[in-house]
Amino acid sequence: MATDTLRERKKAQTRSALWNAAIELFVEHGFDNVSVAQIAAAAEVSKMTFFNYYPSKEDLVVGPLSEHIGDPAEIVRARAQDESPVDALHRHFLAGLAARDPSTGLCDKPNILAVVGLVFATPSLTQRALTSFNAQAELLAAELGQEFRHRAAAAMIVGARNALITENINRLLAGATADEQYPTAVANANQAFDLLRAGL
């Protein structure tokens, strides 16, 4: 058991070292100008070790997004019987804003801003992020039901959430702090979810 714990700790340390080295290099030189070999060297591991942890540079950056793909569907699944899907998602999003959760776009930690800045500035990363959002809508649609109206509703919900997230990120990248943006972020979220309620 102790050996397994030590092994897992070592894996986590290596993964973190690769991620930190990569982000630092990407920010300094640009995503497309940094090779896997450079990342591995900076993290003091081999290229083979890099690929044991990440299939590609893109996966290293956008991998954390995949952890949130199922969030909307899970929120809807776990809601109380007397709570609508839109109400549940609205409540959860507001809680995320209050907690400065990175998944809401309202997190001004330097490493988080560095990553989202990279995603916004690099077409291949932007495309990967869009793919994740599409998968998010598909999972939500499956949770809502099997008819076209459920797919349409899921697309609108995910679209509204992504518009809110993007607005928050753009404000932070322009220099606002999370605390400064928070009141506007809450007002925007209330408006967006009110629109969803009116249309769904």
Q: What is the pLDDT of residues 125-162, one digit of tens each?
A: 999 888 888 999 999 999 999 899 999 999 999 999 99
Please say whether the beta carbons of 185 and 97 come within 8 A: yes
The reported pLDDT for the residue numbered 85 is: 96
DSSP string, 160-182: HHHHHHHHHHHHHHTT--HHHHH
Q: How many angstroms separate the CA atoms of 112 and 95, rounded?
A: 19
Q: Give the residue with greater pLDDT, 114 vs 177.
A: 177
Q: How many angstroms separate the CA atoms of 72 and 40, rounded?
A: 35
Q: What is the pLDDT of residues 21-47, one digit of tens each?
A: 999 999 899 899 999 999 999 999 999
> Rounded mean pLDDT of 66-88?
93
